[in-house]
Amino acid sequence: MARTGRPRNFDRDEAILKAMMLFWEHGFESTSLAQLRAVMGDISAASFYAAFDSKESLFREVVDRYIATFGQATATLIDSSLAPREAIEQALRSSAKMQTEETHPSGCLLVLSASTCSFENVHIREMLTKERALTRSRLFDCIQRAVSNGELPASTDITMLTAVFETFLLGISTQSRDGISFATIDGAVTQVMGIWDRLADSA
């Protein structure tokens, strides 16, 4: 049975995608309700709040959507059918590829859209901090798996090696914003993966 009431005359899913592009480019606080309503097809404030409750609630939906789509660049990290090294290398290369694409804002939304914010929105920043922590723990698990496998020596400092790849991964956001090409970053990934190989050889 179809739902009752007057149907909304804009595409909610499409509106979230448009909102994502704004939040991605300008960040949570610097994106205004007026801008959001404009890209959603000049909908009224009433329509906006009826559909999304609040700016913050919309942002949470946007983050979820981002993770389910563009954020899948790091999905290889939880694919246990891949060798840990390949999982990490693919996560780095796919992230570099995605973040430098010109069909959407550059860099990573989870890194850039609330890197700084006002006191009253600290919880928004912490929300993204938690998402990054999730990626970090997946990286950690990947490396731990390699140590268990014997691909990396038992003496490997997993926390430190996680930092090697994660620091580089996070840096791609600002590099992309600064206009560094995919080819250049991809070449850098090759060098960073050399760190893994050198540690593996010493096993």
Partner DNA sequence: TAACTTCTGGATCGGATAGTATATAAATAT
Partner DNA sequence: ATATTTATATACTATCCGATCCAGAAGTTA
Q: Which residues bind its own copies (CB under 8 A)?
A: 25-27, 29-32, 111-113, 115-119, 121, 129, 132-133, 136, 157, 159-161, 163-164, 166-175, 177-178, 180, 184-185, 187-188, 191-192, 194-195, 198-199
Q: Look at the chain and count its residues.
A: 203
- Taking CB within 5 to 8 Å according to partner kind, which of DNA, its own copies, none is near residue 7? DNA
Q: Which of 27, 23, 22 is nearest to 115 (CA)?
A: 27
- Taking CB within 5 to 8 Å according to partner kind, which of DNA, its own copies, none is near residue 1? DNA
Q: Which residues contact 18 (CB under 8 A, 6 or more apart)?
A: 36, 39, 40
Give min distance, CB of 13 to its own copies, in A. Answer: 24
Binding to DNA (CB under 7 A): which residues in 16-75?
A: 31-35, 43-51, 54-56
Tell me whether residue 78 or residue 188 sits nearer to its own copies (CB atom). 188
- Cα distances from 37 to residues 33, 63, 64, in angstroms, run 6, 18, 20
Residues 77 and 90: their CA atoms lie apart, in Å, by: 8
- Taking CB within 5 to 8 Å according to partner kind, which of DNA, its own copies, none is near residue 4? DNA
